Chains A and B, each alone.
Chain A
Amino acid sequence: TQLLEQSPQFLSIQEGENLTVYCNSSSVFSSLQWYRQEPGEGPVLLVTVVTGGEVKKLKRLTFQFGDARKDSSLHITAAQPGDTGLYLCAGLNYGQNFVFGPGTRLSVLP
């Protein structure tokens, strides 16, 4: 069974701080996606990373896919209250099935 772990599970920080969320697995994925979900809404796709070692930037968010394609990180610079939400990573395995992590719940306090 393929599992994705995310850490930390919960994170509460002050506006302006930086943070990193991790997504780890013992399995190799062909690609990995990050989503953000706000209360009462469906998850919204933030980014897809495909190549081992790939780094993608989306404004203040930086996503990295591990060289071995087993892990990924999401770094947020100067967090804002609007960044509050549940961050989910999902890996696409070679059987074309998505595996979701349990999520990291981020709260950014003004």
Chain B
Amino acid sequence: GAVVSQHPSRVICKSGTSVKIECRSLDFQATTMFWYRQFPKQSLMLMATSNEGSKATYEQGVEKDKFLINHASLTLSTLTVTSAHPEDSSFYICSARNTGLPPTSGQYFGPGTRLTVT
């Protein structure tokens, strides 16, 4: 199977501080990873597409200077929430694309990171 991990699973930080979330593809290489945000009882909202070795592509309305994305290797992408505020509190989920042939091809999600900014 294709496994994606995220770390940390939960984080509480004070307003004004920065938080880094890691997303790793454990058993496949992913040139493309995605970062989503999910509010309670809602679907996933794509924030940005992370491409290995190049700049991330941000969705409209997502501040690239606030949500820094780095995809330095084929198995790791990081999302840093800078100068966090309480309104940034949310469930952040990453996914990685496995470009192998079906049935293994597809987009696989990490378990998510619950961020709480106090």
Contacts and interface: CB of A to CB of B under 8 A. Distances in A.
Our verdict on whether A and B bind, yes or no, reads yes
A48 B46 CA distance: 21
A90 B44 CA distance: 11
Tell me what chain B mostly uses at the interface: helix, strand, loop, or mixed.
Answer: strand
B85 interface: no
Interface stretch (B11-19, B60-68, B70-78, B102-110): B102-110
A43 interface: yes
Interface of A: 31, 33, 35, 40-45, 48, 50, 86, 88, 90, 92, 96, 98, 100-103, 105
A27 B6 CA distance: 32
B13 to A, nearest CB: 19
Given A42-B6, A92-B105, 18 more contacts: A31-B106, A33-B106, A40-B114, A42-B95, A42-B110, A42-B111, A42-B112, A45-B108, A45-B109, A48-B105, A50-B102, A92-B106, A96-B99, A98-B97, A100-B43, A102-B43, A103-B43, A103-B44
A48 B109 contact: no
B44 A31 contact: no
B44 A43 contact: yes
B98 to A, nearest CB: 10
